[in-house]
Structure 1
Amino acid sequence: MDTSESTTGERDPEAGTSRRRGWRRWAMDTRPLRRPAYRRLWVSTIVTAVGSQLTAVAVPKQIYDITGSSAWVGAASMAGLVPLIVFALWGGAIADTMDRRKLLLITNSGIAVTSLLFWLQAFAGLESVAALMVLLALQQAFWGLNAPARNASIARLVPEDELPAASALGSTVMQTGQVAGPLLAGALIPVVGLPELYLIDALALCVTVWAVYRLPSLPPLAGTAIRRAGLKEIAAGFRYISGHTVLLLSFLADIVAMVLGMPRALFPQLAAQTYAPYGEGLALGLLFAAIPIGAVLGGLFSGTFSRARRHGWMVIGAVVVWGVAITGFGLSGSLWVAVAFLVVAGVADMVSMVFRGAILLSAATDEMRGRMQGVFTVVVAGGPRLADVLHGTAGSAFGPRTAVAGGGLLVVLVMLALAAAVPALRRYRV
């Protein structure tokens, strides 16, 4: 007899609850979504994650259509990186001086207006690379101001024990956007045209602005506010990091993993040479998609780790697994084995993101959270670009597979050395 049902034929609610709890032990931890304020912020993140990828596809596509040159596409990427770095650092300081909800309203509105300007120039057939690069720089400046305030706000919306779950929810949405956004853009361009991608992004951002408007006020806590946001306050943020070893190590862990172990610059060469028998286009698409897919899977099953309390060990373990997976990828002659290793790396990257994010929010005081998130934004944006240079150079000198495997091995060795030499990260727990 099914013990979940009584003799009267009615289902036993306790048995059903037990099964649901069993599912929740390994499925995505959705506790933060029970909190209306966080749920609104998360909804705005969904819209931003997908919509921003439409523009991220449309800008390089339009530049290439105008110039026929990949060099101009690369130049545009760098044009967006500099303002992102500058304004993320400044935006972190601003987020510690004013109501973060107000800052999010201003910056999300700015991003929406920029998307509308992208649409206007495309609709008018302007065909000006200079105009596109200026608009891209403006958009990335707004994004740099926005990201620290958005991430720093989370600790005010959920309790400390739910920070890993909230980080997993946000990271999963962003990674899903990186997969779904480009696919949606590719499907829409032949149907509605490239200019309309910008317009869709602009209209979607109206939902983001509305969701942020519904957030509670998030002013600096009493007695903690700084009066201005200048170079002195930015420098104070870096001094704060240097004086808090666990925060410094959380940044170093990401730098080690991304700079030494992110091999995306070698994907085209590997697809054309090592995995050419499988079809160069198929191989290239799978290589670029594998890590985001792994990260999404890690987020969907984040209930298996989001309740862990030893956050430091989780970061160390995740970075080591990332390094091992990248090493395995470099040694793989089979495309499918290589993709499997990259998926594992994506899962490890998600775990690392979740607990590094939780450490930044829990180990830093509220008056410093904006600046910590500003530095975090710079590290996340800059690390993979430094990796592109490093791996591109190493791949030319030693061959792509050797460069990839060597980088992965270095990640493992350097991370273990850091963990052994400095115990603060090992000891950190909620």
Structure 2
Amino acid sequence: MASIFVDTSILRSSPAFARLWWGLGVSNIGAQITVVAVGLEMYAITGSTLSVGMIGLAALIPLVVLGLYGGALVDAYDRRRIALIASSVLWVTSALLAVQAFVGLESTGVLYTLVAVQSAAFAVNNPARQAIVPRIVPAQKIPAANSLMTITWNAALFGGPLLAALLVNWGGYGVAYTVDAVLFTFALWALVRLPDIPPALPGREGPDSGGQASCAQVSTGPARRVVGVRAILDGLVYLRTQPDVRMTFLADLAAMILASPRVLFPALGVIVLGGAETTVGVLTAAFAVGAMSAGLLSGALTVMHRQGLIIAVAITAWGMSIVAFGALMVAAGRTSPDSIQWGFLLAGACALFMAGASDAISAVFRQTILQTATPDHMRGRLQGVFIVVVAGGPRLGDMWLGTQAQWFGEGWAAVVGGVACIIVLWVLMAWYPRFLTYDARTVTQAT
């Protein structure tokens, strides 16, 4: 049984990681509360879906810009301090959101500004936190650590929106934002308890007993603090020399741009399945539950070494799941039903459950390859690129599938997207077949 369920031994052997895991897990719930509450407040002020959609644009631009620059900061300065500063900004923005709600400001400009600031801080905070993990976790335990992170992240995606609705209905937007600020103090506590994590000296990441470059033991000292365009370009140039890491980004873009179905959920809830918000909630929850389940049952997976092959199989399963989901929606028809078509809804939820599980498995190993195949002095910048890919891919996917839905309908858009994802993925594998033989036991880091 121990080999089936997620490996939790790292929570006992690494108190620093355990605190970080608990702290981030709790704070992620608050972050999802705010995501939902901001959208609800914006709609209450404007009555415009377009205004709500512009929240995503307000968040995307600083996320992309600061994601790249934040990664350079992480490689130049103490990671704990960078994460603490960025996390403090996140806490302040949550508090300011609560203040503007309590005083009844009702200003769209203030909301957009606070969302942009929050997104910019997240773009720095996330690369710092991800680059911290390999410094406090042994290399062989990084897949298990990422599985644990995936579980808490998807638990927040599942529970955060539900809690947001309850809090807004009970106490209003100010209460929801206040709860976010309170929960975020757990992340601050976890970061405060970490030791200092200064930048590593380039070329000083020595091998461990397994032949893999050490993640927990690096040589540190005074670093050349190159921050700005030059540092960002150095990171992108380095990425060009790392085809395995680059392939993880390309494979994820293929999945997220071509076959991310979330933009289809609102229309499916009205004109195909019925139930509107209820249906959207069920479909969203099914995806999150699938991802959590994959994390909980990841024990056998996280000890596997053929990580490139696992990613390819997982993304193929993702594409097939989206094809199955789309086929079910085509079968349901565009009938604008008066009541929920429970049979098609539950079958579609099962397909999304499998999609969520596949995505979680892919995410664990993509992050693992990035953390273990990249030398410590480059991890921040490549984590910054990772943030841009993760943030930009689904938004481009919304545009792609939204356009397909206008042409073919929502069901066929999902079918076409899933098929396109599988085709593009295996074209990439044919272009660089060595990715399928990637073996974690023989990883070497370029310096």
Q: When the two structures are superposed, what TM-score results if normalisation uses the length of structure 2?
A: 0.89
Distance 2:201 2:253 in 1: 34
Q: How big is each residue's C-alpha offset from its partner over 1:321-364, in whole Å with a ceiling of 9 and x where there is no partner?
A: 00111111111132222111110010000000000000000110
Give 1:320-331 correspondences, 5 Å limit: 320-331=316-327
Give 1:188-199 correspondences, 5 Å limit: 188-199=167-178
Q: Given the alignment, which residue of 283, 286, 293 partners 1:290?
A: 286
Q: Give secondary structure in 2 for the equivalent of 1:25.
A: coil
Contact 1:89 1:371 in 2 (8 A): yes
Q: Which residue of 2 aligns with 1:236?
A: 234
Contact 1:95 1:371 in 2 (8 A): yes
Q: Which residue of 1 aligns with 2:361?
A: 351
Q: Quick one: percent identity of the two aligned structures?
A: 41
Shift of 1:284: 2.2
Q: Which residue of 2 aligns with 1:306?
A: 302
Unmatched runs of 5 consecutive residues or more in structure 1: 1-22
Contact 2:24 2:186 in 1 (8 A): no
Q: Given the alignment, which residue of 73, 82, 85 partners 1:103?
A: 82
- Opposite residue 344 of structure 1, the aligned amino acid is M
Say whether 1:137 aligns with 2:135. no
Q: When the two structures are superposed, what TM-score results if normalisation uses the length of structure 1?
A: 0.92
Q: Given the alignment, which residue of 19, 25, 29 partners 2:3?
A: 25
- Opposite residue 227 of structure 1, the aligned amino acid is R
Q: Given the alignment, which residue of 188, 193, 204 partners 1:209?
A: 188
Shift of 1:31: 2.2
Q: Given the alignment, which residue of 48, 67, 80 partners 1:88?
A: 67
Distance 1:28 1:100 in 2: 28
Distance 2:30 2:376 in 1: 30
Q: Given the alignment, which residue of 390, 394, 404 partners 2:400?
A: 390
Distance 2:82 2:34 in 1: 22
Q: Which residue of 1 aligns with 2:102?
A: 123
Contact 1:96 1:226 in 2 (8 A): no
| Cα 1:427/1:97, change in 2 over 3 Å | same
Contact 2:74 2:127 in 1 (8 A): yes
- Opposite residue 309 of structure 1, the aligned amino acid is H
Greater Cα shift, 284-293 or 305-314: 284-293
Shift of 1:63: 1.0
Shift of 1:140: 0.7
Q: How big is each residue's C-alpha offset from its partner over 1:37-94, in whole Å with a ceiling of 9 and x where there is no partner?
A: 1111112211221010111111111111111111111112211111111111111110
Q: How big is each residue's C-alpha offset from its partner over 1:144-201, in whole Å with a ceiling of 9 and x where there is no partner?
A: 1100000011111111111111111111111110110111111122222220111111
Q: Give secondary structure in 2 for the equivalent of 1:24.
A: coil
Distance 2:253 2:128 in 1: 22
Greater Cα shift, 284-293 or 297-306: 284-293
Q: Give secondary structure in 2 for the equivalent of 1:96.
A: helix
Contact 1:245 1:424 in 2 (8 A): no
Contact 1:88 1:144 in 2 (8 A): yes
Q: Which residue of 2 aligns with 1:20?
A: none
Q: Which residue of 2 aligns with 1:260?
A: 258
Runs ≥4 residues deviating over 3 A:
222-226, 279-282
Distance 2:194 2:239 in 1: 29
Shift of 1:274: 2.4
Q: Which residue of 2 aligns with 1:426?
A: 436
Shift of 1:263: 1.5
Q: Give secondary structure in 2 for the equivalent of 1:127.
A: coil
Shift of 1:424: 2.7
RMSD: 1.2
Q: Given the alignment, which residue of 20, 45, 58 partners 2:24?
A: 45
Q: How big is each residue's C-alpha offset from its partner over 1:216-264, in whole Å with a ceiling of 9 and x where there is no partner?
A: 1110123564412101111111111111100110000100010011011
Q: Give secondary structure in 1 for the equivalent of 2:363.
A: helix
- Opposite residue 30 of structure 1, the aligned amino acid is T
Distance 2:286 2:345 in 1: 11
Distance 1:180 1:122 in 2: 23
